[in-house]
């Protein structure tokens, strides 16, 4: 292998694959178009680099579309110039040269590749789009280093899965693959004379119903190959007594599990493992919401997935790809995914990514798009500088009964956090001060005046109607983002631990709620919820975590949503929250610096008497044990910067060694 890499305009790889992802949703044979604006790659791209050769050389430029390669020796207009088509041999002599590659591709990803001795493409090449002005340096990905690679094809890996159980059904056969899968189904040894109805299902009920979400009808061949879909079960109807061979080609991204958690409550480990499987399935080109219905990239879902990724894989690449895909390309004509709050989350993701990795280069790369998104957010504010629901803006927060008359408090706290994050990004990059900190302080004062209810001891939804309604959501944000720490105890008592306040009903916001409670020291609440909310899904046979779960529902009621009997996703990324909850708040592993240059291991065992945890960190790994019987907690880390904290004691964790804290029986 040489030094060459396929290169493209920065962001275009993610934008191109985002286009593919958001064009693949099918339900009952109908293509479901994406609901929001999608950016497209630049069709005209120019790459260039100055090189100096001591000997004659030759090279071939591969490209994803026909283009022209130009070699300029000397300065224009007196130098010599040769031009050749891509995919043809170019010969150059000794001396200083400027090599330019111009590519035009409509509906694809313009990309180029050279790998010939001292002449090779990589991220040191200049790049521009339909202009002579250099826009920056080219981008590349580690997966594309051979001339036969194609950056328009995402580098998934594949593994054969055979059915765990096959049983006859009326006029056909049901194939149970044992657990949730995403992949391509293959049928072999079929009777060409029969018309076969292929019915996919995340549940057995769905796969046996001709009204299932995904189905195909085929005939006239003895074997069939299908696109990738989500399923656990596949039913063939119409085969009669002839049993075709059916197998699946599991399609996955090879991310390494770097976390584990076991304790004296065995059900917790079962939930942890199913959450891990769920998250694997939804980590693909980007963080997906779910693998059956949407298979789209939603910023709110992705924001939570980035947190889980940090505590399971610590794979910066998928977080970068997701951020870049969601940012798309300005100018912005609508909020991310059409949702006000989702625009805010995307800006948070950029800052959280930097804190976790220390990768300021990526922040610098996406900064123009982040600032353009910020400008769009602020362009939609009302005359008082508050977030409101304008036409085509979806003020979401959660599926809950808010007092939505006028500005919503939860949205204002997110805006305050946006101002705070923008100030931090500007400071990091050395950008001119734009008064973000002052705007955040002024907004903080306004929120306190308009939305804090002293009598209720909590933040209300809105002030316009006069109803002074309290829901958990704004109060959860206040705790999570450190909005007013001196009020946290009252917020906990009057909102988060108050049974008279409507409960959170979605796993999505339940994750935020549990993080807030853990931050306030109520780790036991999260531990109880793992057993009362997540584990009952497993008792019902779930092999991945569902989009929503109501223990009061029975049978097929668990599969219905959005007016569709099988509309509920039974494999949803936001259900993987226990991975983060257990590693961050029970094991207590938390980044306290930038890129984990400092980090704490501060276990909160809560209801557990024993646990063992393993957790990834930036450029390292942490292992934690807790044993109440031996009155001992230990922490091991592969890198410097860690501190073990427990019961008022604090000790440094030497790299590659185990730190221990013990205590006397009380």
CATH of the domain at 631: 2.60.420.10
What pLDDT does residue 27 have?
A: 94
Q: Within a domain: residue 1?
A: no
Whole-structure pTM value: 0.97
Residue 655 has pLDDT above 70, yes or no: yes
The answer to whether residues 63 and 34 touch, using CB atoms and an 8 Å cutoff, is no
With contact defined as beta carbons under 8 Å apart, do 318 and 283 qualify? Answer: yes
**Torsion, CA 286, CA 288, CA 294, CA 295, rounded to 10:** 50
Together in a domain, 655 and 553:
no
- What is residue 343's predicted lDDT score, i.e. its pLDDT? 98
Specify the DSSP class assigned to residue 292.
T
Residue 358 CB coordination number (10 Å): 17
Cα radius of gyration rounded to whole Å, the chain: 27
Q: What is the mean pLDDT of residues 309-323?
A: 98
335 shares its domain with 406: yes
- Name, in order, each residue with C-beta under 8 angstroms of 90's C-beta and a sequence gap of 6 or more: 58, 59, 60, 61, 69, 71, 82, 84
Confidence of residue 376 (pLDDT cuts 50, 70, 90): very high
Helices (H), 387-481: 409-429, 436-451, 472-480
Question: Quick one: pLDDT at residue 133?
Answer: 81
**Do 269 and 206 have their domain in common?**
no
**Residue 660's beta-bridge partner residues?**
634
Is 90 exceeded by the pLDDT of residue 80?
no
Q: Is residue 553 part of a domain?
A: yes
Of the three residues 552, 569, 586, the one that is the final residue of a domain is: 586
What secondary structure letter does DSSP report for 155? -
Q: How confident is the model at residue 1 (pLDDT cuts 50, 70, 90)?
A: low
Distance CA 326, CA 84 (A): 37
What is the rounded CA–CA span in Å between residue 473 and residue 298? 19
Instruction: Look up tokens 């003020």; give the residue.
Output: 395
| Separation of alpha carbons 461 and 453, rounded Å | 10
Tokens of 111: 């990309």
At 305 the pLDDT is 98
CATH number of the domain where residue 185 is located: 2.60.120.260
* Inside any domain, residue 542: yes
Distance CA 97, CA 92 (A): 9
Q: Which residues, in sequence order, are CB contacts of 312 under 8 Å at separation 6+?
A: 257, 258, 259, 276, 279, 576, 579, 583, 616
Q: Does 525 reside within a domain?
A: yes
**pLDDT for 77:** 64
What local confidence, expressed as pLDDT, does residue 241 receive? 86
Q: What is the mean pLDDT of residues 597-607?
A: 98
Overall number of domains in the chain: 4
| CA–CA distances in Å: residue 33 to residues 26, 49, 66 | 9, 40, 30
The yes-or-no verdict on residue 666 having pLDDT over 70 is no
Could you tell me if 163 and 115 lie in one domain?
no
Domain boundary among 235, 252, 269: 252
Q: What is the pLDDT of residue 304?
A: 98
Name the DSSP class of 561: B
- CA within 13 Å, CB half, 214: 26
Query: Looking at residue 127, what is its pLDDT?
Result: 97
pLDDT of residue 68: 96
Q: What is the mean pLDDT of residues 337-359?
A: 98
Domain containing residue 389: CATH number: 1.50.10.10
Q: Evaluate whether residue 438 is within a structural domain.
A: yes
Token reading at 138: 């080219």
Residues 6+ apart with CB under 8 A from 478: 413, 459, 484, 487, 488, 491
Q: Are 268 and 530 in contact (CB under 8 A)?
A: yes
Distance CA 110, CA 159 (A): 30
Q: Work out the mean pLDDT of the chain and round it to a whole number.
A: 96
CA dist 626 and 37 (Å) reads 49
pLDDT at position 507, please?
86
Residue 278 scores a pLDDT above 70? yes
The CA-atom distances, in angstroms, between 387 and each of 423, 459, 549 are: 19, 16, 31
Buried b (16+ CB within 10 A) or exposed e, 182-197: bbebbbeebeeebebb
Kindly state the percentage of the chain with pLDDT values over 70.
Answer: 99
Q: Are residues 554 and 606 in the same domain?
A: no
Angle at CA of residue 317, ends 312 and 318, nearest 5°: 65
Q: Is the pLDDT of residue 92 over 70?
A: yes
C-alpha 222/C-alpha 192 separation (Å) is 5
Summarize pLDDT for 222-258 with one digit per residue, the tens: 999 999 999 999 999 999 888 999 999 999 999 999 9
Asked if the structure places residue 638 within a domain, the reply is: yes
44 and 93 housed in the same domain: yes
Residues 511 and 625 in one domain: no
131 confidence band (pLDDT: 50, 70, 90) = confident
In-domain check, residue 2: no
Contact of 608 with 586, CB cutoff 8 Å: yes
Q: Which two tokens stand for residue 40?
A: 């497209």
The closest alpha carbon to 375, from 439, 440, 420, 331, belongs to: 331
Do β-strands 599-601 and 642-646 pair in parallel, antiparallel, or remain unpaired? parallel
Inter-residue contact 208 to 231 (CB < 8 Å)? no
The CA dihedral of 266, 272, 277, 283, to the nearest 10 degrees, is 180
Contact 88, 149 (CB under 8 A): no
Based on the fold, state whether residues 177 and 204 are members of the same structural domain: yes
Separation CA 265–CA 148 (nearest Å)? 51
Question: Is the Cβ–Cβ distance between 305 and 279 less than 8 Å?
Answer: yes
The answer on 418 and 380 residing in a single domain is yes
Contact between 202 and 180 under an 8 Å Cβ cutoff? The reply is yes
Backbone phi, then psi, for 349, in 5-degree steps? Answer: -60, -40
78, 103, 137: which is the final residue of a domain?
137
Q: How confident is the model at residue 592 (pLDDT cuts 50, 70, 90)?
A: very high
d(CA 502, CA 474): 13
- Assess whether 238 and 321 both reside in one domain: no
Cis amide bond preceding 77, omega within 30: yes
566 and 547 Cβ atoms separated by less than 8 Å: no
Examine residue 7 and state whether it is found in any structural domain, yes or no: no
Residue 539 domain boundaries: 260-586
- List Cα–Cα distances, 623 to 258, 359, 568, 582, 661, in angstroms: 11, 25, 37, 13, 14
Beta bridge partners of 336: none
Query: Rounded to an integer, what distance in angstroms lies between the CA atom of residue 183 and that of residue 485?
Result: 47
Displacement of CA 447 from its chain's centroid (Å): 30
Are residues 312 and 195 part of one domain? no
Q: Is 357 helix (H, G, I), strand (E, B) or coil?
A: helix
Task: Give the mean pLDDT of 475-499.
Answer: 98
340 and 438 co-located in one domain:
yes
In terms of Cα–Cα distance, which of 222, 234, 106 is closest to 169? 234
- Residue percentage of the chain with pLDDT more than 90: 95
């Amino acid at each position: 292998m040489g030094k060459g890499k396929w290169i493209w305009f920065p962001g275009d790889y993610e934008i191109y694959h985002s286009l593919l992802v958001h064009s693949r949703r099918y339900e009952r044979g109908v293509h479901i178009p994406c609901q929001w604006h999608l950016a497209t790659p630049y069709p005209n791209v120019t790459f260039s680099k100055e090189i100096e050769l001591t000997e004659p050389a030759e090279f071939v430029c591969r490209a994803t579309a026909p283009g022209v390669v130009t070699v300029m020796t000397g300065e224009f207009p007196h130098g010599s110039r040769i031009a050749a088509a891509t995919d043809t041999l170019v010969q150059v002599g000794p001396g200083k040269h400027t090599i330019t590659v111009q590519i035009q591709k409509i509906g694809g990803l313009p990309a180029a590749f050279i790998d010939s001795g001292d002449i090779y493409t990589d991220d040191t090449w200049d790049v521009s789009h339909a202009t002579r002005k250099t826009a920056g340096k080219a981008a590349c990905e580690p997966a594309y280093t051979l001339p036969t690679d194609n950056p328009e094809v995402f580098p998934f890996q594949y593994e054969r899965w055979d059915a765990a159980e096959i049983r006859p059904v009326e006029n056909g056969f049901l194939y149970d693959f044992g657990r949730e899968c995403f992949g391509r189904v293959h049928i072999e040894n079929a009777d060409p004379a029969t018309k076969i109805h292929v019915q996919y299902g995340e549940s057995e009920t769905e796969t046996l119903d001709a009204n299932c979400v995904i189905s195909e009808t085929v005939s006239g061949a003895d074997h069939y190959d299908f696109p990738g879909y989500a399923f656990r079960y596949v039913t063939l109807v119409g085969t009669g007594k002839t049993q075709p061979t059916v197998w699946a080609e599991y399609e996955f991204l090879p991310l390494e599990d770097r976390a584990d958690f076991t304790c004296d409550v065995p059900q917790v480990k079962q939930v942890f493992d199913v959450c891990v499987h769920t998250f694997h399935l939804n980590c693909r080109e980007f963080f997906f919401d779910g693998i059956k219905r949407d298979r789209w990239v939603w910023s709110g879902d992705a924001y939570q997935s980035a947190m889980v990724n940090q505590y399971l894989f610590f794979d910066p690449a998928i977080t970068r790809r997701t951020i870049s895909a969601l940012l798309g390309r300005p100018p912005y004509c609508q909020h991310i995914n059409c949702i006000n709050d989702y625009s805010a989350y995307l800006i948070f993701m950029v800052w959280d990514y930097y804190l976790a990795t220390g990768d300021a280069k990526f922040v610098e790369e996406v900064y123009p798009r982040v600032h353009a998104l910020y400008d769009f957010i602020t362009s939609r504010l009302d005359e008082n500088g508050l977030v409101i629901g304008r036409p085509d803006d979806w003020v979401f927060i959660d599926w809950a009964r808010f007092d939505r008359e006028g500005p919503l408090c939860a949205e204002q706290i997110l805006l305050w956090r946006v101002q705070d994050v923008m100030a931090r990004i500007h400071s990091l990059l050395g950008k001119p001060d734009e008064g973000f900190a002052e705007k955040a302080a002024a907004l903080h004062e306004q929120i306190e005046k308009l939305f804090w209810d002293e009598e209720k001891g909590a933040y209300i939804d809105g002030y316009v109607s006069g109803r002074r309604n309290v829901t958990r959501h704004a109060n959860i944000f206040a705790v999570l983002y450190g909005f007013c720490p001196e009020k946290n105890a009252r917020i906990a008592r009057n909102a988060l631990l108050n049974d008279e306040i409507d409960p959170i009903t979605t796993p999505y916001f339940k994750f935020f709620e549990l993080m807030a409670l853990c931050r306030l020291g109520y780790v036991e609440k999260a531990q109880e919820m793992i057993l009362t909310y997540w584990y009952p899904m497993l008792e019902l046979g779930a092999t991945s975590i569902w989009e929503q779960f109501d223990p009061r529902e029975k049978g097929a009621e668990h599969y219905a949503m959005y007016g569709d009997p099988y509309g509920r996703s039974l494999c949803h990324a936001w259900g993987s929250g226990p991975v983060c909850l257990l590693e961050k708040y029970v094991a207590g592993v938390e980044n306290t610096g930038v890129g984990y240059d400092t980090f704490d291991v501060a276990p909160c065992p809560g209801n557990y008497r024993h646990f063992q945890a393993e957790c990834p960190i930036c450029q390292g790994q942490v292992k934690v044990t807790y044993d109440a019987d031996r009155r001992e907690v230990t922490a091991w880390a592969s890198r410097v910067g860690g501190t073990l904290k427990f019961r008022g004691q604090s000790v440094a964790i030497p790299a590659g060694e185990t730190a221990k804290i013990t205590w006397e029986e009380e």
